[in-house]
Structure 1
Amino acid sequence: MKIALIAHDKKKKEMVELTKKFEQVLSRHELFATGTTGLRIQEATNLNIHRFKSGPLGGDQQIGARVSEGEMDMIIFLRDPLTAQPHEPDVTALIRLSDVYEIPLATNKSTAMLLFKELENLAKI
């Protein structure tokens, strides 16, 4: 599967912890991330990640373009709902695209864990 990993600044630590916990299952998939999130994950794991631009510089839109072209299978987007984001329209557009193209999207750690656990279960079959 092609999986996008995105995290707002206050959620990057959570994303790193999550990817470390599920590193084995994630290593079987093609991973994409926005710039800083991808860098932080790469520094903490052995995962190979294609990095797009930072979210505010168009990374969210780059991932959205992949969704619209049928080139993304899952999105993990750990959002910070308590901090205003300068690129909020891009965030909203990405969420809308995931709905339009029926791409599984987790916007919090609990939902991301459920999706990753399902990937683990599928790998056992």
Structure 2
Amino acid sequence: MRLGLAANRLHHEGDDAALFRWLRTSERGIRELDLGLHAVGRTFDAIERAGLLAGHAGLKRYPYGREGGLMKLVAEVVGMEGGARTLDGAIYLIDPVDPSSIFPEAIALKRQCVIHGKPFLSTVASARDWVELERIHAGLAPDPGADDLHDFEQHTLALIAHDAMKPQMLAFASEHFALLSRFAHRVGTGTTGQRLNELAWSQGWPSDQPWVHRYESGPMGGDAQIADRVLEGRCQRAIFFEDPHVARQHEADIQLLERAVTTVSDLAVCTTAPGVARRWAEAAARRAQVAAR
């Protein structure tokens, strides 16, 4: 597998920057998976200076962002030259107050990942979680260092879907109802939350108890309410099925939630595509079964 890799300046400036925290915790898994990391210039240079991933053949250098490095990652997420230059997703550690995080190529990188059903990993927690789930899919034993990401009984999960994606969210929740029910709390916005509650009641969840705590609808501020929970460390994972083809009147609120997630980079995991969410759910269930033996 091959992922694009970029990090805003904040995330590779100091010894304990986010990029290095991720690599130190995930280097073993990266090597076990023989994961290709196609890193934009300054990100590659920072990894090399830190002495991380030394000798890892999968680490490739791309041009600096100003020379089109991030644009090349976007094109390769879409796919180039008959698959020879195709990425399976992207890790982009975002500083939400860095102006480059809203450059067209940065926005396009996420959008094309969502459109093509590929992982877009914008936090340390998301990148750590992805490496662990791919390890599980590869048949490797669970890494105890990732246990904190799978302590679902202590976590809150946000389930959010735009109108066109609501049927997929309901199908996902139905298929993985037992796993999602392990979370201490589930939260959602308006209509999605109501439909998920109706689904849960149909599956035997006590009819006098909501399965999902409902906030306002997205246009009425529900995304902002959930963003506040994320910032306070009271929501550790968001599964957010976005419709990238429709302009939303509450686009600012959607971006606010995304910025909240990237602000608490080590704490929050965000998944934006149904296929990626299903792959996570399958790995999480398998990991729990192995741990219980």
TM-score (norm 1): 0.93
**Alignment partner, residue 69 of structure 1:** 232
Alpha-carbon distance in structure 1 between the residues aligned to 2:172 and 2:288 = 18
Structure 1 position 90 matched with structure 2 position 253: yes
Q: Over residues 45-99 of structure 1, what are the superposed CA-to-partner deviations in whole Å (9 max), with x where a residue is unaligned?
A: 2451111110110100000000000001100110010000000011111112111
Kindly report structure 1 stretches of 4+ aligned residues shifted beyond 3 Å: none
Structure 1 position 24 matched with structure 2 position 187: no
Residue 71 of structure 1 aligns to a residue whose secondary structure is coil
**Alignment partner, residue 273 of structure 2:** 108
How many residue pairs were aligned? 125
Structure 1: any 5+ residue segments left out of the alignment?
Answer: none
Structure 1 position 41 matched with structure 2 position 178: no
Q: Over residues 6-32 of structure 1, what are the superposed CA-to-partner deviations in whole Å (9 max), with x where a residue is unaligned?
A: 000000010000000000111111211
For the aligned residue pairs, the C-alpha RMSD in angstroms reads 1.3
Residue 38 of structure 1 aligns to a residue whose secondary structure is helix
Structure 1 position 57 matched with structure 2 position 212: no
**Alignment partner, residue 117 of structure 1:** 282
Alpha-carbon distance in structure 2 between the residues aligned to 1:118 and 1:4 = 19
Q: Which residue identity does 2:229 align to in structure 1? A: R
Q: Which residue identity does 1:109 align to in structure 2? A: P
Structure 2: any 5+ residue segments left out of the alignment?
Answer: 1-154, 206-210
Alpha-carbon distance in structure 2 between the residues aligned to 1:119 and 1:55 = 28
**Which structure is richer in relative contact order (CA contacts within 8 A, separation 6 or more)?**
1
Could you tell which deviates more after superposition, 115-124 or 24-33?
115-124
Alpha-carbon distance in structure 1 between the residues aligned to 2:276 and 2:163 = 19
Q: Which residue identity does 1:52 align to in structure 2? A: Y
Question: Computing the radius of gyration over CA atoms, which structure comes out larger, 1 or 2?
Answer: 2
Residue 76 of structure 1 aligns to a residue whose secondary structure is strand
Alpha-carbon distance in structure 1 between the residues aligned to 2:257 and 2:283 = 23
TM-score (norm 2): 0.41
